[in-house]
Structure 1
Amino acid sequence: MSNRNIVNGRIELSEDEFKSTLFSLLGPQTTLQGQIIIPKTYGPVIIKTNEEKMIEGAFESCMFKCFMSCTLGYGLGGVIGLFSASVNPTITGPDAKQQTAREVFRDMKATTMSHAKNFAIVGAMFASIECAIETYRGKSDWKNGTGAGGITGGLIGLRAGVKAGLLGAAGFAAFSSVIDYYMRHR
């Protein structure tokens, strides 16, 4: 130890001494790539390329999440609207006349599109708000979904009044919390 250089209270090691010290501290399952020390503890270490990082960043962006939520919401709303139109006719009662096939399909199209549009808007709102909250907080946990659910439900319910907005916020926040808990603990 007497022949080593001490600079600013630190001992300087040669590259061979550094590698042997690293080997003795971390064991034989380490990889030295550049200046990054990667311990191999749970399988092989895979370092992502810049292209992989760029694609992963695009898929994790707020714009992509919002687009996908809007698209999937539109599809799910369309399916629910089609089911709803098939089991709930709009013309009923004693004065109802027999509907033609054209009227039935026109009614089904209107109901399907209405549900699809509404689900798309809700999905886009929720995803955008959740992503904004997650970006602001810098964390990915249950609080983001609960907050986004509360804000989304409140904004949707606010069209019917303040009381409906508060109930919508509480209901959507509770629903978001339950879904988030289920998805994280399954």
Structure 2
Amino acid sequence: MAASSGSANAPDSDLKGMESVDSGMADSTIQYSMVLEHLIGDKRTVKNLNPGVMGGLPVPAKSDEQKMIERGMESCAFKSVLACVGGFVLGGAFGVFTAGIDTNVGFDPKDPLRTPTAREVLKDMGQRGMSYAKNFAIVGAMFSCTECIIESHRGKSDWKNAVYSGCVTGGVIGFRAGLKAGVLGCGGFAAFSAAIEYYLR
């Protein structure tokens, strides 16, 4: 009887041992998942990347004037003015360069056989440079302003902002010559902006 009771208790002890092993594995699984939550999950702690905490040189806190200057430099108005000035300088240089390689600069269409003077050549170069500078400045300011507004509205900084801005800029410029020119300008500027963004990114 004692042997039979011992043999009857043996399976019970085995079952209890297996249950304890299963519970131990379940506890380890829960603990492992908790560790994962703290390492890569939503419960992970954000490290303080301040150089003073990490052992580097401490960075002084920004003053109100510095924050105001940063906000001003990130504004759409400042970006538009900067693009306008840059476009003016680039357009002027491009206009003078194209005038320098043009063989018809300074020639009078009424008297094509007369050799132009240096003053006439410089005058034509200046006029062409100013014309290119104005056009580039307008296009740069329009593109930068629309891109900044679209980026602020979408809340994203990706290639789509440049494409939308190029379409708006090209459409507005081309619309002065008609609806068809506006559509072509929109598509052309959008494609050019997409190509530039693809090359830069």
By the TM > 0.5 criterion, same fold? yes
The separation in 2 between residues aligned to 1:69 and 1:160, in whole angstroms, is 25
Aligned match for 1:142, one of 159, 170, 177 = 159
The CA distance in 2 between the partners of 1:66 and 1:55, in whole Å, is 16
Task: Specify the alignment match of 2:47 in structure 1.
Answer: 39
Q: 1:81 aligns with which of 85, 89, 95?
A: 95
> Which amino acid is 1:99 matched to?
P
Aligned mates of 1:54, 1:38 — CA distance in 2: 27
Matches within 5 A, 1:24-35: none
Matches within 5 A, 1:30-109: 39-40=47-48, 44=54, 48-51=61-64, 52-88=66-102, 89-90=104-105, 91=107, 95-109=112-126
CA distance in 1, matches of 2:77, 2:49: 36
Structure 2 residue 177 is the aligned partner of structure 1 residue 164: no
1:144 offset after TM fit, Å?
1.0
Structure 1: gaps spanning 5 or more residues? 1-24, 27-36
**TM-score, normalization by structure 2:** 0.66
Q: Distance in 2 between matches of 1:161 and 1:171?
A: 15
C-alpha change, 1:168 and 1:47, in structure 2 (3 Å) is farther
Q: TM-score, structure 1 length as denominator?
A: 0.71
Q: CA deviation at 1:47?
A: 7.5
Mapped partners of 1:153, 1:182: distance in 2: 20
Give the Cα–Cα distance (whole angstroms) in 2 for the partners of residues 178 and 157 of structure 1. Answer: 20
Which residue of structure 2 aligns with residue 128 of structure 1? 145
Q: Secondary structure at the match of 2:176?
A: helix
1:83-132 CA-partner distances (Å, limit 9, x unpaired): 11111224378833110111111101100000001000000010111111
1:38 CA displacement: 5.2
Superposition misfits of 4+ residues, deviation over 6 angstroms: none
Higher deviation after alignment, 40-49 or 174-183: 40-49
Q: Deviations over 1:126-148 (max 9, x none)?
A: 01111111121122111111100
86-95 or 98-107, larger mean C-alpha shift? 86-95
User: In structure 1, how many angstroms separate the alpha carbons of the residues matched to 2:199 and 2:63?
Assistant: 34
The 1-side partners of 2:61 and 2:155 are apart by 23
Give the distance between the partners of 1:176 and 1:111, measured in 2 at CA. 26
- The 1:38/1:46 distance shift into structure 2, 3 A limit, reads farther
Alpha carbons of 1:48 and 1:162: their partners in 2 closer, same or farther (altered >3 Å)?
farther
Quickly say closer, same or farther: Cα 1:130–1:40, change in 2 above 3 A: same
Q: Percent identity?
A: 49
Distance 1:83 1:155, change over 3 A: same
1:117 maps to which of 125, 128, 134: 134
Larger C-alpha radius of gyration, 1 or 2? 2
- Which residue identity is paired with 1:145? A
How many pairs were matched up? 150
1:179 positional shift: 1.2
